[in-house]
Structure 1
Amino acid sequence: MRWMKISCILCMFGCFKDFRPSESFVTDYLTGPWKNFTKEEVNQDILPVATYSYLATLILVFLITDFVRYKPIIVLCGLSGVVTYFMIILGKTVIVFQIVEFFYGVFMSTEVAYYTYIYAKVDKKHYQEVTGHTKAAVLFGRSMSGIVAQLTASFELLNYHQLNFITLSANILATIWALFLPSVNQSMYFHRTSVSEEDTQGKDTLDYHLQHSSNSQESRNVENGKTKQCFMVSGAQVLRKTRNAYALLWKHFIQAYTNYRVAKWSVWWALATCGYLQVVSYIQLLWQTAVIPGDMIYNGAVDFVYAIVGAVTVFYVGKIQLNWTLLGDMTLSIFSLLEGSMLLGLSYSYNIWLLYFGYVIFGVIYHTMVTVASFEVAKYISEDSYGLVFGVNTFFALLTQSLLTLVVINTLMLNIRQQFFVYGSYFLILTVIYIVMGIINVVQHCRSGAKFHVWMSDDDKSLSTSCMSTVESSKPELDNS
């Protein structure tokens, strides 16, 4: 099957891309004898640059990805990873590592092409399967990099500096592998396959004018005794295509975010992702405060456990048929409360094993609930909007993260434990918001006289199918005016 072959090629890229064993010990590497940065330099001067770079490049990369048809951006993803880890190996100063973090932000933003390429290459009936494949490949790459990092460090086969060579090699392989991806002839917005009659007529008229203009120019050249080939590129066709693409983008955006359920789940998705990215970025600095000098560090093993447990949990949560319409708000508030309380506890704890355990549980909760959010949002949007909603939610997550970084790290300059106290409080505020929304939802449900059931009934499934049918029938067409 051709779609399976394409999925396997893309998944190999994802596996190589996320095979980064050096990341499990990156903070210890930067503050160790290889680079000799202080914890304050890593916390305040180096790591925040990646957040700002990720935000600054995401929307631009998202639009360019659709325009150039995915594959060039996937290759750019691999190349930016190669540049990042090559500079990590050679870099010595804070300025150089700030440039490194810029390229790392580009590396992260270009991942949008990896997650959306497959939708332009396979039939819609395979979307669920190939989505699972791409996510599984990433988790597999992360789990393998974690165990390799831990084994090589524990048995002193490689030091933290040498792990970067493995990561660099994996990114080089990913870049080479990306060259074998089949080219994409269509995309969601700029290169759609469906062409209306008006488009066709417009194209025929344009071709006539181009041909007429070309013949006239050629005649003039012959008269001057100079016969030369004329290549004329029509800006009108590109302009029309761009205008239609942005019109369709805007229609999909309005269609998605004017739906209350999409907006509700997307807000949690964006705000929770902000907190998750902040915790993941700075957790190793917190671990350092609890490690006794000379003790073995198990960061790689923690990353391995985190990826495996997360993969299993995400796989099974997709099979649970709960009534998320009724229970979603309260579920989000409960898990946000757990995450917030856990982060507050971690900000005071000096037990490294408790810190490791808390990080794994926090990450598993986030990935579980963001998976629920993603398939709940998918019920009420058109399939063409998947990439757009993913990009918009990620953009708002990064915007919030940048503001949080600017205030907490670069303005107030809080130490790492104070930062995690703020992150815990952030999730508690999120808890209060969704408790209120959950109470309102339950009250409205009871007033409507509907049955209070936890598991999704056949009526709920029919409603979900009906919603998807309505969305499909109301997909906006290209603006040909």
Structure 2
Amino acid sequence: MSWKKTSLILCMFGFLKEFRPSEPFVTNYLIGPWKNFTSEQVNQDIYPLGTYFNLAFLILVFLITDFLRYKPVIVLCGLSGTITFLTLLLGKTVFEIQLVEVFYGLFLSTEVAYYSYIYAAVEKTHYQKVTGFTRAAYLFGRFMSGLVAQWNTSFGILDYEQLLYLTISALAFSAAWAFLLPSVNKSVYFHRISNTDVLPLPNNLQADGKSDITYVPNDQSRKTKPILLKLKNAYLLLWKDFLRAYTNIHVAKWSLWWAFATCGYVQVASYIQLIWESAVEGKHVNIYNGAVEALYTIIGAAAVFGVGALRVNWPLLGEITLSIFSFIEGILLFVSFESHNIWILYAVYIAFGVIYHTVITVASFEVAKHLSDDSYSLIFGINTFLALALQSLLTVIVASGTIFSLDIRQQYLVYSGCFAVLGLIFMLMAFVTITKFCREGKKFKIWLEPTIDRSLSSSQS
């Protein structure tokens, strides 16, 4: 199958996966007459479990995805999403809705297969195009989801529960559609295609992440169980790529911001409907959650597209940029803590999300510049895992009621403080970087990015 047909099938799956019009109003559904849960139950007993189980599943699903070669896990992504919202529709007790969060955690973790499939299914020459197509499909799915949700609720066509039928149908169709994807005969770690059986030995792995490759003779490899050989190869390749990436100071710094900022963003996005509800509780006002999600998606897409065309000297100005935007994010969250005006809260959420997606795009390509092609999914996955680990810790401390019993607005004050601290950390980093730059007497360039050493990218395992 040609790469264009494969891309079309994958993009259609991405659109269907993200078409979930019930999500902008899921909190209203849970605390409304359909389920009758309290805001405290949703905040402390239900939502935190999604974070915990996403973290629990992520690494295991990443390894299974590579071992099973993507397609089965993409099908599982559609199935787990279908089960999630079907359980949400049928569940009545807190325990049953907690099961929803377990399946939702699995659903989120299986998305790694969707984002990494392209690197095994198409040629490298088409990576950039297919990545753009899949990202566009993702954004278009979210845009249409918010638009359909708002249209139906504003005109009284469907209520919050009836929107679930649209979500379940789209996800079920996505699972069936995923069977059309062509199977692949390779993966990054467990099924690398090579003319020679390669077994990197542990004592050849050096501190800098480089390794000498020991080629096992064919007769010896036949005596080794294939599964054991694959496991050993996968472990050594994973470890080598890990060391190679995180011993690079540029990758380490951008990954640090990536993990902490993603932690904050996901936490804010997960609980934003509760703070919106606190602003409209007892008031007869229209709710525009779906329209906000649609508008935020379109503005975010335009911002992401624009930042990709900038030629900024990120190695010099990266830390100060991250510092400034971290402070801005902290200020926006402080406004959310203080304000009870739903329109201000909507505007703040849109600004917060657009800034995050714009800067995380910069972080993604800055990290990618210093990685070998085969380690993209591993390093991106580790950064996501660190973000979820931090989010789980934050959830235990401020949201679950286990340590501190904070209401939703107090939680946002904590999130604001976290971004302020992140801004301070990167301001100190920026001071060190710019001071070092000036001492070396280099010409201060803002728009002309210096040539990046691509020696790491050229060395393949």
Q: TM-score range, shorter-chain basis? A: over 0.9
Match of 1:323 in 2: 313
Deviations 1:206-238 (A, max 9, x none): 65x7xxxxxxxxxxxxxxxxxxxxxxxxx7111
- State which of 333, 345, 356 in structure 2 corresponds to 1:366: 356
Kindly report which structure 2 residues correspond to 1:419-438, keeping only aligned pairs within 5 A, or say none.
419-438=411-430
Post-superposition shift, 1:122?
1.1
Post-superposition shift, 1:198?
6.1
Indicate whether 1:338 and 2:328 are aligned.
yes
- Does the CA-based 8 Å contact 2:139-2:297 persist in structure 1? yes
Post-superposition shift, 1:130?
1.2
- Does the CA-based 8 Å contact 2:370-2:457 persist in structure 1? no
Indicate whether 1:385 and 2:380 are aligned.
no
> What secondary structure, in the 3-state scheme, does the structure 1 residue paired with 2:180 have?
coil
Looking at structure 2, the residues matched to 116 and 103 of structure 1 have their Cα atoms a distance apart, in angstroms, of 21
> What secondary structure, in the 3-state scheme, does the structure 2 residue paired with 1:289 have?
helix
> What secondary structure, in the 3-state scheme, does the structure 2 residue paired with 1:381 have?
coil
Post-superposition shift, 1:102?
0.4
Match of 1:273 in 2: 262
Looking at structure 1, the residues matched to 126 and 250 of structure 2 have their Cα atoms a distance apart, in angstroms, of 25
> What secondary structure, in the 3-state scheme, does the structure 2 residue paired with 1:296 have?
coil
Post-superposition shift, 1:473?
3.6
Looking at structure 1, the residues matched to 341 and 29 of structure 2 have their Cα atoms a distance apart, in angstroms, of 22
- Does the CA-based 8 Å contact 2:11-2:133 persist in structure 1? yes
- Does the CA-based 8 Å contact 2:186-2:193 persist in structure 1? yes
- State which of 436, 448, 452 in structure 2 corresponds to 1:456: 448
Indicate whether 1:99 and 2:84 are aligned.
no
Post-superposition shift, 1:197?
6.0
- Does the CA-based 8 Å contact 2:197-2:221 persist in structure 1? no
Post-superposition shift, 1:201?
6.8
Instruction: Report the AA paired with residue 306 of structure 1.
Output: Y
Say which is worse superposed, 192-201 or 132-141, in terms of deviation: 192-201
- State which of 231, 256, 269 in structure 1 corresponds to 2:245: 256
Instruction: Report the AA paired with residue 456 of structure 2.
Output: V
Cα root mean square deviation, aligned: 1.4
Match of 2:385 in 1: 395
- State which of 279, 286, 289 in structure 2 corresponds to 1:290: 279
Instruction: Report the AA paired with residue 424 of structure 1.
Output: S
Looking at structure 2, the residues matched to 376 and 4 of structure 1 have their Cα atoms a distance apart, in angstroms, of 27
Looking at structure 2, the residues matched to 256 and 205 of structure 1 have their Cα atoms a distance apart, in angstroms, of 32
Post-superposition shift, 1:64?
0.6
Instruction: Report the AA paired with residue 332 of structure 1.
Output: L
TM-score (norm 1): 0.90
Looking at structure 2, the residues matched to 123 and 252 of structure 1 have their Cα atoms a distance apart, in angstroms, of 21
- State which of 406, 409, 412 in structure 2 corresponds to 1:417: 409
Looking at structure 2, the residues matched to 127 and 360 of structure 1 have their Cα atoms a distance apart, in angstroms, of 30
Instruction: Report the AA paired with residue 259 of structure 1.
Output: N
- Does the CA-based 8 Å contact 2:80-2:103 persist in structure 1? yes
Match of 2:212 in 1: none
Instruction: Report the AA paired with residue 81 of structure 1.
Output: G
Q: 1:201 to 1:402 in 2, by over 3 A?
A: closer
Instruction: Report the AA paired with residue 236 of structure 1.
Output: K
Looking at structure 1, the residues matched to 408 and 347 of structure 2 have their Cα atoms a distance apart, in angstroms, of 18
Looking at structure 2, the residues matched to 319 and 196 of structure 1 have their Cα atoms a distance apart, in angstroms, of 41
Match of 1:166 in 2: 166
Kindly report which structure 2 residues correspond to 1:74-93, keeping only aligned pairs within 5 A, or say none.
74-93=74-93
Say which is worse superposed, 30-39 or 290-299, in terms of deviation: 290-299
What stretches of structure 1 of length at least 5 have no aligned partner?
210-234
- Does the CA-based 8 Å contact 2:372-2:458 persist in structure 1? no
Post-superposition shift, 1:294?
2.4
Indicate whether 1:239 and 2:228 are aligned.
yes
Looking at structure 1, the residues matched to 84 and 437 of structure 2 have their Cα atoms a distance apart, in angstroms, of 52
Match of 1:445 in 2: 437
Looking at structure 1, the residues matched to 458 and 144 of structure 2 have their Cα atoms a distance apart, in angstroms, of 43
Post-superposition shift, 1:472?
3.2
What stretches of structure 2 of length at least 5 have no aligned partner?
200-214
Post-superposition shift, 1:43?
0.2
| Rg larger in structure | 1
Kindly report which structure 2 residues correspond to 1:135-150, keeping only aligned pairs within 5 A, or say none.
135-150=135-150
- State which of 400, 405, 415 in structure 1 corresponds to 2:395: 405
> What secondary structure, in the 3-state scheme, does the structure 2 residue paired with 1:412 have?
coil
Instruction: Report the AA paired with residue 91 of structure 1.
Output: G
Match of 1:61 in 2: 61
> What secondary structure, in the 3-state scheme, does the structure 1 residue paired with 2:346 have?
helix
> What secondary structure, in the 3-state scheme, does the structure 2 residue paired with 1:320 have?
coil
Deviations 1:396-446 (A, max 9, x none): 000000000000012202000000000000000000000000011000110
Deviations 1:181-218 (A, max 9, x none): 000100001000123266797455565x7xxxxxxxxx
